[in-house]
Amino acid sequence: MASSSSSGLTFKLHPLVIVNISDHYTRVKSQLNLPPSLTSTSSAATSNNNNNDSNGGENNQQPPPRVYGCVIGVQRGRTVEIFNSFELIYDPSTRSLDRSFLEKKQELYKKVFPHFYVLGWYSTGSDAQESDMHFHKALMDINESPLYVLLNPAINPAQKDLPVTIYES
């Protein structure tokens, strides 16, 4: 999927990125919807997400989770190509990003793909939120102008385009 922006940049988003983000979201959402008997054993897995459930897992009407990660690829001139992504550990209540995990993932990707760089980050949701700026600023020491890829996981049968938006700084 290639698209251009008002800044003159052309974006090429590879399908693997969409699959990775969708998989990340689906795994987190399924962990939040475990039966009540399993929620006590999976509390560590759900601690990174917004769990507003006060009924011990019996209420499935909780808001959809937001997941976060990095997008990696290359920029050649005015063309930005996003090849892959990886999830990050982010605690929205403390607004803290696990920097050691991020640095380790960067190091591992550099060994296999030495020309790939962190171009920005991703999250899921229907729209960008004000709280996303904390995450955005946390990545500015890696990339001074990070991209933000937003995937809307809500299903809209009338929509023909992919529910992906790319924001530039």
> Does residue 149 lie within any of the structural domains?
yes
Convert 120-156 to b/e letters by CB count within 10 Å (16 or more is b): bbbbbbeeeeeebeebbebbeebbeebbbbbbbbeee
What is the domain range of residue 18? 10-30+64-167
Look up the pTM and report it.
Answer: 0.79
Assigned domain for 45 exists: no
- The number of domains in the chain is 1
Which CATH number is 127's domain given? Answer: 3.40.140.10
* Domain assignment of residue 48, yes or no: no
**DSSP bridge pairs for 91:** 96
Each residue's pLDDT tens digit, 115-142: 999 999 999 999 988 888 888 988 999 9
pLDDT band at 87 (very low <50, low <70, confident <90, very high): very high
Max distance between CA atoms of the chain, in angstroms, equals 54
Residue 52 lies in a domain: no
Residue 2 lies in a domain: no
Whole-number percent of the chain with pLDDT over 90: 53
State residue 110's pLDDT score: 92
Whole-number pLDDT of residue 3: 62
38-71 pLDDT, tens per residue? Answer: 544 444 444 444 444 444 444 556 778 899 999 9
137 falls within a domain: yes
Structure tokens at 116: 């790939």
Is 20 inside a domain boundary? yes
Residue 156 lies inside a defined structural domain of this protein: yes
Q: Strand pairing of 10-13 and 79-87?
A: parallel
Over residues 1-50, the pLDDT tens digits come to 556 566 789 999 999 999 999 999 999 999 988 666 554 444 444 444 44
Residue 108 pLDDT > 90: yes
